[in-house]
């Protein structure tokens, strides 16, 4: 077992989506980092985009904390391992604080707060109200069971007089009164906010938080969090295979824990760009999600498709998720039809409206060396595309929850190449199976 040191921590929770918690969380991370603190960032839920902004601000890889995909032990272990060497952990919540799976608080921000015994700063959007803001705060403080709200950040305060009106009826410790400032917002698009690498880094939000919030009070609350229990000691296997991971403007959705699990199972992670680089010398290929539809012309021109098709024909293990699935199809239609790798017997097209959003829960049914029949696959779907398969298409996953590619079937495969709409959170068993499959391919 690993003895867990004390980890100061605070959750940035919100009353609802759109209340400003992402902006506030970014600002707190920036302000604390500029004070010289080593800040370990986290995001509750399956989101890929917010963590890129956290990582750019803190200089440490942001991790997802999701009880549905990871389970209780997975949440605690990921938190503890990632927080080693940090002075404080800042955890951005998801949706409203108590919003979880199917009307419950399972996998909610409050659920993660309880698992980590972490206090929260509650972000309240006070546009259009004054005294009523504190009625909202009182409701949140009294509603939950075991989730501690240490203080409140009143966001989008309109004026000094507006602040005074709110202060007349405070029911919880105020951590700050943040004025309206639209310049610090991040532009959105169809899958959410723009990625961190697509925008210029700005100090405005850090300055805004430094000038309007009591960071010392938040640090005091974070440092009062108790020591967590010990976690298992997991030893890394010696590296035995090289797994290529697509990382560029088209493929950018990855859970850092997935890459860590592959490394622990004995893989050397080899990042490369399918748009710009030749396929490296590798034993397996992993393509995450992202925006291949925005870079379809570059993918069509690149050498990736032919090289990946040859690797697939040779039996190389290839695992592709969502955007990666589209890249392995025969084509993708956006403004026109673009040729893709042509590995999987399907054509993809963008639909202009959301096709699936929510958690996935299924099991591998066979056909792939790395998808052990009967083993579970948990993850999340979020896409604006559909994939039209040929009549002889074969699937390796049956979902009990989620849409998949076709009527609850996912994991379209040919040879040892598979594409899914599920963004999976890798279990240790899956990571070992994928590495073992890569090792078997190398020896063949």
Is 322 among the catalytic positions? yes
Return the SS3 of 264: helix
H or E segment to which residue 166 belongs: helix 160-167
CA 73 to CA 62: how far, in whole Å?
18
**β-strand pairing of 395-401 with 409-414:** antiparallel
Strand order in the sheet with 318-321: 267-272, 241-246, 284-287, 318-321, 417-420, 409-414, 395-401, 356-364, 376-383, 423-424
Residue 413 near residue 103, CB atoms below 8 Å: no
| Closest alpha carbon to 93 in 115, 111, 73, 81 | 111
- Determine the Cα–Cα distance for residues 202 and 72; give it in Å rounded to an integer: 36
Q: How far apart are alpha carbons 200 and 210 in whole angstroms?
A: 20
Q: How many Å is the Cα radius of gyration of the chain?
A: 23
Angle 256-264/428-443 helices, nearest 10 degrees?
60
What is the C-alpha separation between 83 and 75, in angstroms, rounded? 12
Choose the catalytic residue: 213, 322, 386, 389. 322
CA 318 – CA 232 distance, rounded (Å): 30
**Ordered DSSP codes for 172-199:** S-EEEEEEP-GGG---EETTEEPPGGGS
**Strand order from edge to edge, sheet including 88-92:** 63-65, 39-44, 88-92, 9-14, 120-125, 149-157, 174-179
| CA nearest neighbour of 395 among 431, 423, 367 | 367
Cα separation, 255 vs 46, whole angstroms: 9
Question: With contact defined as beta carbons under 8 Å apart, do 44 and 65 qualify?
Answer: yes
State the catalytic residues: 322
């Amino acid at each position: 077992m690993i003895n867990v040191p004390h980890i100061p921590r605070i959750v940035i929770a919100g009353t609802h989506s759109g209340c400003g918690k992402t902006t506030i969380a970014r600002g707190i991370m920036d302000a604390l980092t500029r004070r010289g603190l080593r800040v370990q960032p986290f995001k509750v839920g399956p989101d890929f985009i917010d963590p890129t902004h956290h990582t750019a601000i803190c200089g440490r890889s942001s991790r997802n904390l999701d009880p549905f995909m990871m389970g209780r032990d997975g949440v605690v272990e990921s938190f503890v391992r990632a927080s080693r060497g940090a002075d404080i952990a800042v955890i951005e919540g998801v949706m409203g604080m108590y919003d979880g799976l199917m009307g419950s608080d399972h996998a909610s921000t409050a659920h993660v707060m309880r698992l980590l015994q972490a206090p929260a700063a509650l972000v309240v959007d006070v546009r259009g109200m004054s005294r009523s803001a504190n009625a909202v705060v009182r409701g949140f403080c009294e509603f939950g069971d075991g989730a501690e709200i240490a203080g409140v950040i009143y966001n989008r305060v309109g004026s000094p007089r507006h602040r005074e009106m709110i202060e007349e009826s405070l029911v919880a410790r105020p951590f700050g009164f943040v004025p309206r400032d639209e310049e610090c917002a991040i532009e959105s698009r169809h899958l959410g906010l723009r990625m961190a690498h697509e925008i210029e880094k700005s100090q405005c939000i850090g300055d805004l938080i430094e000038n309007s919030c009591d960071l010392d009070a938040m640090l005091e609350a974070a440092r009062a969090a108790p020591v967590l229990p010990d976690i298992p000691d997991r030893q890394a296997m010696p590296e035995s295979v090289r797994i290529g991971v697509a990382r560029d403007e088209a493929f950018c959705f990855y859970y850092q824990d997935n890459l860590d699990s592959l490394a622990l199972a004995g893989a050397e992670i080899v990042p490369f760009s399918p748009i710009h680089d030749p396929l490296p010398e590798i034993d397996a290929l992993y393509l995450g999600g992202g925006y291949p539809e925005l870079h379809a012309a570059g993918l069509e021109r690149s050498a990736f498709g032919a090289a990946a098709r040859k690797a697939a024909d040779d039996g190389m293990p290839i695992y592709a998720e969502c955007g990666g699935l589209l890249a392995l199809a025969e084509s993708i239609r956006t403004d026109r039809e673009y040729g893709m790798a042509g590995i999987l017997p399907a054509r993809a097209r963008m639909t202009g409206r959301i096709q699936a959003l929510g958690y996935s829960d299924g099991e591998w049914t066979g056909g792939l060396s790395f998808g052990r029949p009967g083993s579970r696959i948990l993850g999340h779907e979020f896409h604006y595309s559909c994939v039209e398969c040929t009549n002889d298409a074969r699937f390796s996953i049956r979902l009990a929850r989620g849409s998949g590619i076709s009527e609850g079937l996912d994991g379209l495969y040919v040879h040892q190449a598979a594409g899914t709409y599920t963004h999976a959170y890798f279990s240790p068993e899956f990571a070992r199976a994928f590495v073992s499959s890569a090792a078997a391919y190398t020896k063949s």
